[in-house]
Amino acid sequence: MTRARPIAAAGDRGVEHTPDLGSREVPSRDGGRRLGRAFVFLWFLIGGIAHFVATETEVRLVPPYIPWPLAAVWVSGAFELLGAVGLLFLRTRRAAGIGLFVLTICVTPVHVYMLQRPDLFAVPYWALVLRLPLQVALLALIAWSTAPWLRTAEKIGSSKTS
């Protein structure tokens, strides 16, 4: 059984081994997607670690209407770390991107709660306001940097010639 080998940490370039297509070079269209993935990887790696290192701080951010705030912090932190690691491998990158996209949407209530109750947090109000559009930008970056466009195009191209 031939397994897909991981491509360099956050890259699009390398040799991929797949059972259906054999070995082939996976070219990089540009370094932008790789840099985007690196940013997303670091964002969720550092954020995931923070869930376990600064647990008390993270729990205080959870809105009161969300049950079991400690469990919510631990589970979301674990998913952030799993998603970050999933970005490193071509085979799991798409699933990791989808998971991180959904997770980012799921934590939106935290940002809204902080914006509604700025008196509870030692964060400047302008930063709380800026978080929501930055979250939209993060969602776009996750989608763009983890989409399997290149692989899909290659598979379509190789099936037309067969």
Mean pLDDT of 19-31: 52
Q: What's the number of domains the chain is made of?
A: 1
Residue 13 reports pLDDT greater than 80: no
Q: Is residue 161 part of a domain?
A: no
CA dihedral 142, 145, 148, 154 (to 10 degrees): 170
Q: Is residue 97 part of a domain?
A: yes
Q: Is residue 17 part of a domain?
A: no
* CA gap 77, 83 in Å, rounded: 10
* CA gap 64, 45 in Å, rounded: 26
Residue numbers of the domain that contains 126 = 31-145
* pLDDT for position 31: 82
pTM: 0.74
Q: Is residue 150 part of a domain?
A: no
Q: Is residue 2 part of a domain?
A: no
148: confidence class by pLDDT, cuts 50, 70, 90: confident
Tens digit of each residue's pLDDT (9 = 90 or more) over 36-79: 999 999 999 999 999 999 999 999 999 999 999 999 999 999 99
Tens digit of each residue's pLDDT (9 = 90 or more) over 67-110: 999 999 999 999 999 999 999 999 999 999 999 999 999 999 99
118: confidence class by pLDDT, cuts 50, 70, 90: very high
Q: Is residue 95 part of a domain?
A: yes
Please compute, for residue 140, the number of CA atoms within 13 A of its CA located in the half-sphere on the CB side: 6
